[in-house]
Amino acid sequence: MSRAPASFAPLNTPRQLIKAAAKRFRSARLAYGHGTLNADDEAAWLLVHALRCPFEDLAARLDQPLPAKIVQRALQLFERRISERIPAAYLTHEAWLGEYRFYVDQRVIVPRSYIAELLQQRLQPWLRPRQSPQTILDLCTGSGCLAIVAAHSFPRARVDGADLSSPALAVARRNVREHRLAQRLQLIRSDLFNGLADRRYDLILSNPPYVRASVMRTLPAEYHREPAHALHGGGDGLDLVRRILAEAAAHLTPQGWLVLEVGHNRARMERAFPQLPFIWAETSGGDDCVLLLQKAALAEIPSAPARTPRPAVARRRRAPVR
Ligand SMILES: C[S@@+](CC[C@H](N)C(=O)[O-])C[C@H]1O[C@@H](n2cnc3c(N)ncnc32)[C@H](O)[C@@H]1O
């Protein structure tokens, strides 16, 4: 184990460590958006991981001196966050969507889809209160996070999670096991709908790659720690979105719904697909990221160019210090 860097010594309470780390994060101009939105919260998250205590316990321990071993562990995490630009979620191997925790590593993007917020409201008001989908597909499932949140929100549903990436599916498998959902959540390797034969679903969710080529090149280093194939949506970002819109109807039951995340891209989508009556859901990211369509509304889809930035985060971890 290396010695504590001089720039952090001789700090030994959580409050001191978080403040010092956040100051260094700011001067190193780190980028956020993988579970936190600022330097203080990012530092607190890493410190809590070093402490091995629930985030909620931090406030009560802010001014308690820490054993040298824990201080050392925290300092090493701070140093890696700065020097390697690895998002905290990959250093701690955990990410949260609402109340649900997921294992993550660099085989999958860090979960932050706004669709999770809608699932936790059981897709009200679009699904009627008693209407419960029996069959759900999470297309482009990555870590399996949306498939798992959907399975928790609709406890009677059978859920499929599909992804083209075998390494991502290995992470999803671990999460399905940890959430004890293997009985009704199946993972399938598939290029979008190609591997799903004639399966039909009451609900199709998808947070596909949708970052356009020119934006990919300008993303902060932290985003380049994520698998590029999970972010990059082709020249205008809409390669996969177009395919999903064109093929989803064939995999929906008559009253079925498609819920699709497209980034802060409402205006472009409306220009590209003027004939589609998109419903835009309000989420913490605004009303321009997630659209809904019922099967009947999915008609012939012409292609059109569009541009898409990545959205921000799902669960924000807020430090009790500023
Ligand atoms: C933006 S990530 C979403 C992951 C997860 N659903 C989430 O919200 O965190 C997109 C995922 O799409 C997968 N993917 C990319 N191209 C695909 C394709 N042609 N068919 C299926 N999955 C694909 C990637 O492997 C990646 O896991």
Q: Which carries the bigger pLDDT value, residue 175 or residue 8?
A: 175
- Residue 252, pLDDT > 60, answer yes
pLDDT above 70 as % of the chain: 90
Instruction: Kindly state if the Cβ of 109 falls inside 6 Å of ligand 1.
Output: yes
The answer, yes or no, to whether residue 2 has pLDDT greater than 80, is no
- Gap from CA of 141 to ligand 1 centroid (Å): 6
Q: Is the CB of 287 under 6 A from ligand 1?
A: no
Residue with more model confidence, 218 or 130 = 218
Least confident residue range of 52-56, 280-284, 288-292, 297-301: 297-301
**Atom 27 (ligand 1): residue with closest C-alpha?**
142
Q: Kindly give the number of the ligand 1 atom that is closest to the alpha carbon of 205.
A: 6
pLDDT of residue 7: 52
Q: With bands split at pLDDT 50, 70 and 90, how would you rate the model's confidence at 129?
A: confident
Task: Report CA(137)–ligand 1 centroid distance (Å).
Answer: 13
Is the confidence at residue 304, as pLDDT, over 70? no
**pLDDT, average across residues 303-313:** 37
The whole-number pLDDT of residue 305 equals 39
Is residue 307 predicted with pLDDT exceeding 50?
no
Q: 100, 159, 164: which to mutate for ligand 1, most atoms within 8 A of CB?
A: 164
Per-residue pLDDT at 309: 35
When pLDDT is cut at 50, 70 and 90, the band that residue 130 belongs to is confident
The tens digit of pLDDT for each residue in 154-168 reads 999 999 999 999 999
Average pLDDT, the chain: 91
Question: pLDDT for 54-103, tens place per residue?
Answer: 889 999 999 999 999 999 999 999 999 999 999 999 999 999 999 999 99
- pLDDT class of 310 with cuts at 50, 70, 90: very low
Q: Is the CB of 237 under 6 A from ligand 1?
A: no
For residues 319 and 226, which has the higher predicted lDDT (pLDDT)? Answer: 226
Kindly tell me if the per-residue pLDDT of 306 is higher than 50: no
pLDDT at site 104: 98
- Ligand 1 contacts CB of residue 165 (under 6 A): yes
Mean pLDDT of the 168-185 span: 98
Rg of the chain's alpha carbons, rounded to an integer? 21
Q: 317 pLDDT band (50/70/90 cuts)?
A: very low
pLDDT above 60 (res 311): no
